Structures are given as structure tokens and as C-alpha cells.
Structure 1
Amino acid sequence: MSLITSETYSVIVGLGISGLSCARHLARLQDQGKTGRFVVVDTRENPPLDNQLKESCPGVPLICGELDLELLEGAAEIIVSPGLDTNQSPYSELKKKGVSIVGDIELFARQAKAPVVAITGSNGKSTVTTLVGEMAKTAGLNVKVGGNIGVAALDLLGPIEPDLYVLELSSFQLETTDSLCPAVSTVLNLQADHLDRYGNMVAYHTAKQKIYRNCQQSVWNKQDMLTQPLLGKESKTVAFSTAEPDLKEFGLRQYDDGLWLCKGLTQLIAASDVLIKGRHNLSNALAALALGDAVSIPMDAMLETLKHFKGLSHRCEWVAEIEGVQFINDSKGTNVGATRAAIEGLAGDAPNIVLIAGGVGKGANFSELTAPMTDHCKALVVYGEDRNAIADIASEDMIIKVTESLESAVSEAKALANSGDIVLFSPACASFDMFRNFEHRGEVFSQVVADLERTA
């Protein structure tokens, strides 16, 4: 308590990427005389971003170790990392006492003036966020992209407002956000995820639905009713799906010359001209078109972007072809829904996929993978903490290999695949049993494949 006087102060809890961005933001406001003192606390004795805090916010106190409840209770506001569950102690008790608990997106919303495209969902949100940003750039707009992807939202703020912000938002970030008023919002899809934190789908659904609060327009997935905004009938909304669209909706329509992305009856672009492949990526493209249309990004610029956008690393990313076998890195497939989408998006007429899966399941029900694996996978190779749980839900007719590491899983998959097959690395699990994050996991997969290619 000696670091804080009787004056009003705020506390930032957690010195991660978002916590550091919050500290820099408050330091800027402090220099402008727009906020009071603040302190950063972290339960770790040596937070990895300690030196960066000292460099960018000299003089800001950092308190490490066990949380000081008296310090928290005396704060005018507590700013928490998205990884902290504010429904658990001590934050649940602090909220009951009237202490304001917010996150970085709430601080962003209080300052940002330009229109915001707000994007969430269980799967595809990074791809759609990046794609909308690229569409805006192609149109010549000054756009800033970030949030739960790339640059922290608060680091997007500057002295000159852009034409548009495009933000990926996680359910964790939405929990502590109330002031955001997006120009358009979307929940792309909703699959069981983070049940280790939420306990059930109702709580997860409630957190995701917060993105629609105060939005001027909404975009939702007509094939996933859980994404439908719980708003009044007077709210402006548009749907997308991979089925045939109704008037003003975005969808797919079959013509004599092939499949087309359409708005109502208007043909926009042939599916064959969209560079990112797989039916799930056509859904992502339709969502991006609907979002961009809502904020008046010119259609020509959006369609041109779809012809050249290669997608993101670790999201159904082509890695190599070895002896006629395609190796695909979908390390971002951290939940069952993402892996199901990848399987169905890449499937051929006959089972042609050797699936590599495994890691930390986060309490997921893997049985939702049984049908798509039975229909489209010739073999399953599992590794990691929950490898047996995934193997247990596979069809008895499927070839199943249980391995101890990702490296051995890739070798097994290569041995099982024939020319014309696909080795799909889509774990359906989190990475933190063996890797720093999904990016590190995907890099290891790609390196193992590269080593196999050199020796083939």
C-alpha cells in the first residue's frame, strides 16, 4: 500500500501483452492530464515483460507476487488481463463491492472515434478479421487491424484516427467490455470451446453475444442459430451462409458455369476465383463481404482482394507435397469445431485425409468428430495429453495410431498416406502441453515436414 497514496488510482492486473498495452495507454493519458496514478500487479515474481514496462512507462510501480486485496479494494478501477476469470475470486467479490473491473477493449472503446468492425466466433475470426482489413486497404482506406490478433487494440490508437478499425475479439475480452459501439458486429459461428472456463455452452454463448450490444448493424451465420443476434426486430441485420441466399443475404449459388458467391441474386465472384480454399473458407469470404458491405467498402475492392488473399499461417496452410501427398498445417485448429470445418472443407469424394490431432482438449466433447472422420478420413494419428480421448471416438474401421510426439505423428501419417491423399494437421486441442502456443506448434509441424521432404 505504500506505493499508493489516498488519491484515486487504477490497478492493472497481469503484465502480459494486453497488460503492457494498458500501461502504455494509461501512461499516455497521464501525460495529457486525463487520468490519475496507476500501478501494475502480477502474481509472477518475474513477469517476462518487466523490462519493457520499465522502458515504456518509467516510474510506474510494478508489484509482483501474491495479490494485495486491500490495494485492489481501494482502486477506482481494475483492468484485468483477458486470461483472468472475473467470475472467480477475488474479482467476483470485488464486483459485489462495486469495484469497476474492465479490460483493454473497454479502454479502447472509450477513446476510439472511427467506425469499428467487431468480429468474434469460435473459428475463422482471425482469417475474417485480416481479410476485412485487406479489403479496406485495397479500397485505399486507412485501416487499423488488431485486438485479439496481431497488435493490441490500445496500441492502434494514435493522434490521427483511421478511417476504420477492424478488431478480432475473444469471449474473454468481451466479458469486460460495455462501452464498445461497433459499426457492425458478427459472431461467425459457435462451437464448444473454453468449457474449462465457462462450464457450459450457455455461459460461452452469453459472452459471445456481448459483441452485438450497442452495434449499429449485425452480421450472423444463418447456418448457426446460436450466432443470431438477440436484438429487437428493428435492428439492422444481414445473414450469410454457404447455402443459397435470400434477397440481401450473402451465400453460394450454383450456376451452369460453377459455384458463385452471391448477394441475393447478384453474382459476385466465382468460387474458383477465391484463392483461399475449402468450403469453410468460402464461408469466411462471405462473412467478410457482408461485414465490408455494411461499412461501405467498395465491392470491387473486396472481390479483388479475394482473388489474391492467401490466408493466414497455421490456418489450413499448404506446407508441401511429398510423393503426391499434400501436407496441410491447421495448427490454429484448437477446438473440435475448427478441426471439423477443416476436414469437411478439404474432403474429397472418397476418404483421403490422414488426420493428426491431439494436445489439451480443454474439456471438449470429441465425439463431434466421429462422423466427419468416418466420412472423410482414412486414418487418424494422435499425440499429446488427450490423444487417447480422441482415439476412443474414432470408428473401429479406421486405422488409428497413438504416438508420443508430434514428430513421430508426422512420420506415422506419411507412412499411412498414398499419392492423392492429404495429411491434415488439425489438433482440435490447445497446444500448451508441449508447445508455447499454436504458432510454435505449427512451426514444428512445418519443420518436420520440411525435413521429410529433403530426405524423400
Structure 2
Amino acid sequence: MTTLTATETLLHKGSGLQVVVGLGQSGLSVANYLTKQGYHVAVTDSQPTPALAEQLPAAVDIRQFGAIDAELLQQAARIIISPGISLDTNAVAAARRANIPVVSDIQLFCEACTVPIVAITGSNAKSTVTTLVGQMAADAGVNVGIGGNIGVPALNLLANPDMQLAVLELSSFQLETVTNLGAQVATVLNMSPDHLDRHGDMLGYHQAKHRIFQGAKSVVINREDALTRPLVADNLPRLSTGIHAPDKGHYGLITDPEGQIYLARGTERLLSADKLQIKGRHNLLNAQAALALGELAGLPLDSMLNTLQQFTGLEHRCQYVATAAGLDYFNDSKGTNIGSTMAAIEGLGAVYAPKDGKLLLILGGQGKGQQFGELTPFINKYVSQVLFIGEDAKQIEQHLRATKLSDEVALHQCQTLESAFATIQQVTISSLSQVQAVLLSPACASFDQFSGYAARGEHFSQLVSQLATDI
């Protein structure tokens, strides 16, 4: 990062107050970044004592906690809003009406970044594909920075002066305040209803996601999902992915006469699906997306295929935990919306269906305004038992019962994971049970009972381990 001269520092301080709204990890990264750039920075947060307040630079001399300070925002030359704070928050909305610019840390990053950016969003699989592309770049000898919504604030990547490529996972919350990202390659992996409590409807959600394409030099689209197609110039380089045989130069799947599935580019078979450690059709789409993004970012194909074969997936993402009492247990706690859970049910269900096996599905938590009846076709095909937990458990059951749910699917209200495990043992003890795998894929946020999806997944895994020990 460049060091400012004394004159430049004075110019920045004269450019007006920079107000950071929300003191999470991204807010802290903004405060650190802007103070190093010589700006006068203030921070406000609704929490009375934000956990990260002690880590703020001493130069941040205005700290308004306990509520988002509307008066402070009116004094700002620019507001940098954290992704967890809605633009509809009264103080923020008033500042926007006063024509005070409101941006995110991602806007600051893309304005300062001098290396190509791979930008990835979607309702599901963002973290998997971001991690995979990052690993492909690293394995190819590229000095890569991986960050954004995946855990490392994007601005922190600028501390690496040797970075050659930035791979960013971006949420709809981050994107709604980004203009002209200018990525080397951008993609919306998929679109399904999520965060409608924040965006209002699918149109608002779609518009936020598609800001990722502004200024993009190339794009990757999912042929199975029309909502991923950007309204950009037809002459822009683009690659597509899908579950069917691809056109020349694009990615897809080819099935040989013996039923073996291959990742393919045009007519070329690249890799048989059984060589991948990540399983399920959704992961075959994820693998294609990573290959297409990597190709447009200039990564060598042979190296990417080697990385693919070594990749074991992410924690809490359709992660195999253990086998206990003849049942395989899978932790998909990061499945926090119905689209993600659809993919998990279909991906795992197709593995057990040829053996006449069914899934036991654990659903529930905070529903975020979703319509859970959309899960019914997938449940009817692959699931024989559904266990409900969490705050919106009864509402989710009502949604399913209001649709054409098969009479062969049994529903159980359990409220907690502990109660769910007791129910699992009751309903699978019969020799007639078709259940061969237990899938925690809640399709909901976890904050009603846990500090986050990771804590929920870890608790599930602990209960599985305890069950395996007791047997």
C-alpha cells in the first residue's frame, strides 16, 4: 500500500468526515484502512459496547455506540456501511435523502485494487466456489488474495503488496452499495429466494446481485438458471455451465453409455465425476463454475483439474460427519435458504436413490420470509422423514402441508437438535425404515438458537459423535 505524503494527508483530512456504520470485521477493516490513508474517521454502531471497539485505531476519536447516530451521519462527507446494516435504517435513509454518498468496503477495495478481480455471488455455493478458485490460483503459483463475504475483509487483502489476483465472495448486502466493480470475471452462480426480509422481493434481490456485472470484462453464467444471465454486451467474453452436454468451448456434463458422468468442455471429457471428492450434482456445477472462472482469469486447465481432484469441500457444506447405527450423517448447516437445501437434497438424494434409500431431513430456524412449499417436490422424491427445529418450525410445517406433500413423508416437530436426535432413533429403528442418511440442511438462519451456522453445525457434529460413541 502506498504511503501518503504530509501534504496528501492534509488533503484527505480536509476532504470531510468518513463515518463507518457498523463495527463488525468489515467495519474495523474500513476504519483501519481510512485512518492509514489519512482520513478523519468516525464510527457508530447500535451495540452499546461493540466487541471490536478496543481494536479501533486511536485516531478514530468519534465513537457513537448504543444507536446509529443520525446526527453524526448528517455530518459525513461519505458513509461506509457494513453489510449487516440495512439501507432502510432510519438514520441511513435520512443521510441518503440528504445526498450523502453511502458505499461499502467493497467499493473502497475496487477503487484501490490494481490487480484483476474474480467476483463471485449467488444464493448458494459462493464460499465453495470462491475457495476452490482461490486454491486453483494458489496451486498454479499465483499470489492470490481470497476475501470478501468469506471471512477476510476485502480491504485487508491490500496489505499484500505482491498480490496478483483477488478472488472475492460477495453478498447481496455488499453489492447493493457497489458501483462499477470492474471485475476481470464476474458470476452469479444461481438465484433462489433469500433475504427477502431485507430486499423486499425477488426483484430487489436480483438487482442487488446483478450489480456484480457492472464493468465486468468477462462473465460466467449458469445455463440452468435464467436469473443468472446478465444484461451486458453480447460481445463480452462469456462461458456457461450446466448439467447437460455443453456447446463448443463451454462447460457441462457428458454421460457415457455405461452411465459414467464426466466434466466436459465442449466435446472434451476433462474428468470423471467419481474422481472428485465432493459429491452431488450441485458440486458438479460448482466444479464447472470454478473451471470457467479460472479459465477467464488465465489459470491453466491441467493445474485446475489437479486442484479439483484434491478438493474436499468446506465445513458445514454437505460435509460427511460419520456413520452411526447404519446411517450416514451430513452437516449442511450453511444451507440457510431453500435454494441451498434444494441442492443438498437433490445432490445427496441422487446418491442414495439407486439403493432404494431415503433421506431424513432436519429443517428449521429463522425462515427469513421464505416460502418453504418450494421444497416439496424435492422432499417427495428423496425424503421420507422431516424433523422441524427452531423458531419457525411450525410455520415451515404449515407451508409443506399446504402443498402436495406425499402421504409417505412423515413430519415431526422437535424444536431442538437434541430432541431431533431422540426422534431419529425412534423413527429409524424399524427394519422397514428406508432412511439411509440424515441431512441437516435447515434452509434457515440459525440465530434463534445459535451464534451462527457454524455453531449449529458443530453442535450437530457433536451429537453425531456422541451417538457413535454410545452405540
Q: TM-score, normalised by structure 1?
A: 0.94
CA deviation string 1:48-92 (max 9, x = no partner): 111122xx4455432213333332122110011111121442323
| Corresponding residue number in structure 2 for 1:15 | 23
Q: Which moved more, 1:227-236 or 1:372-381?
A: 227-236
Q: Contact conserved, 1:118 with 1:186, CA < 8 A, in 2?
A: yes
Q: Distance in 1 between matches of 2:74 and 2:162?
A: 35
Q: Contact conserved, 1:356 with 1:381, CA < 8 A, in 2?
A: yes
Q: Does residue 342 in structure 1 map to residue 344 in structure 2?
A: yes
Residues 399, 69 of structure 1: CA spacing in aligned structure 2 closer, same or farther, 3 A cutoff? closer
Residues 43, 150 of structure 1: CA spacing in aligned structure 2 closer, same or farther, 3 A cutoff? closer
- 1:149 alignment partner, SS class: coil
| Corresponding residue number in structure 1 for 2:197 | 196
**Residues 290-439 of structure 1 correspond to what in structure 2 (within 5 A)?**
290-347=292-349, 348-349=352-353, 350-392=356-398, 393-394=400-401, 395=405, 396-417=407-428, 421-439=436-454
CA deviation string 1:265-285 (max 9, x = no partner): 111111111110011011100
- 1:157 alignment partner, SS class: helix
- 2:37 alignment partner, SS class: helix
The amino acid across from 1:397 in the alignment is E
Q: Contact conserved, 1:331 with 1:442, CA < 8 A, in 2?
A: yes
In the alignment of these two chains, the number of paired residues is 445
Q: Distance in 2 between matches of 1:377 and 1:420?
A: 8
Residues 9, 454 of structure 1: CA spacing in aligned structure 2 closer, same or farther, 3 A cutoff? same
**Residues 165-244 of structure 1 correspond to what in structure 2 (within 5 A)?**
165-244=166-245
- 1:90 alignment partner, SS class: helix
TM superposition shift of 1:93 = 2.9
- 1:421 alignment partner, SS class: strand
CA deviation string 1:225-266 (max 9, x = no partner): 000011122222111011111111110011245110001111
Q: Which moved more, 1:82-91 or 1:137-146?
A: 82-91
Q: Could you list the runs of 5+ residues in structure 1 that have no partner in the other structure?
A: 31-35
Q: Contact conserved, 1:127 with 1:284, CA < 8 A, in 2?
A: yes
Q: Distance in 1 between matches of 2:170 and 2:160?
A: 23
Q: Distance in 1 between matches of 2:60 and 2:451?
A: 31
Q: Which moved more, 1:57-66 or 1:301-310?
A: 57-66
Residues 223, 63 of structure 1: CA spacing in aligned structure 2 closer, same or farther, 3 A cutoff? same
CA deviation string 1:347-403 (max 9, x = no partner): 122351000111000000000111111110011111111111222305233111111
Q: Which moved more, 1:240-249 or 1:311-320?
A: 240-249
CA deviation string 1:199-228 (max 9, x = no partner): 210110000000011000000111000000
Residues 375, 99 of structure 1: CA spacing in aligned structure 2 closer, same or farther, 3 A cutoff? same
Q: Which moved more, 1:349-358 or 1:435-444?
A: 349-358
- Deviation above 6 Å: which 4+ runs of structure 1? none
| Corresponding residue number in structure 1 for 2:264 | 262
Q: Contact conserved, 1:379 with 1:398, CA < 8 A, in 2?
A: yes
Q: Contact conserved, 1:324 with 1:419, CA < 8 A, in 2?
A: no
TM superposition shift of 1:411 = 2.6
- 2:299 alignment partner, SS class: coil
CA deviation string 1:4-32 (max 9, x = no partner): x99721101111111111111112212xx
Q: Distance in 2 between matches of 1:248 and 1:147?
A: 30
Q: Distance in 1 between matches of 2:229 and 2:434?
A: 42
Q: Distance in 1 between matches of 2:257 and 2:14?
A: 74
TM superposition shift of 1:159 = 5.1
CA deviation string 1:151-188 (max 9, x = no partner): 11111112514111100000000011114210000000
| Corresponding residue number in structure 2 for 1:33 | none
Q: Distance in 1 between matches of 2:410 and 2:154?
A: 45
The amino acid across from 2:421 in the alignment is V
Q: Which moved more, 1:86-95 or 1:381-390?
A: 86-95
The amino acid across from 1:288 in the alignment is A
Residues 401, 68 of structure 1: CA spacing in aligned structure 2 closer, same or farther, 3 A cutoff? closer
TM superposition shift of 1:323 = 2.1
Q: Contact conserved, 1:39 with 1:60, CA < 8 A, in 2?
A: yes
Q: Distance in 2 between matches of 1:361 and 1:233?
A: 38
Q: Does residue 445 in structure 1 map to residue 460 in structure 2?
A: yes
Q: Does residue 50 in structure 1 map to residue 61 in structure 2?
A: no
| Corresponding residue number in structure 1 for 2:107 | 106
Q: Contact conserved, 1:351 with 1:375, CA < 8 A, in 2?
A: no
Q: Distance in 2 between matches of 1:119 and 1:85?
A: 21
Q: Sequence identity, in percent?
A: 44
| Corresponding residue number in structure 2 for 1:132 | 133
Calculate the aligned-residue CA RMSD, in Å: 1.6
| Corresponding residue number in structure 1 for 2:144 | 143
| Corresponding residue number in structure 1 for 2:276 | 274
Q: TM-score, normalised by structure 2?
A: 0.91
| Corresponding residue number in structure 2 for 1:118 | 119
Q: Distance in 1 between matches of 2:36 and 2:297?
A: 30
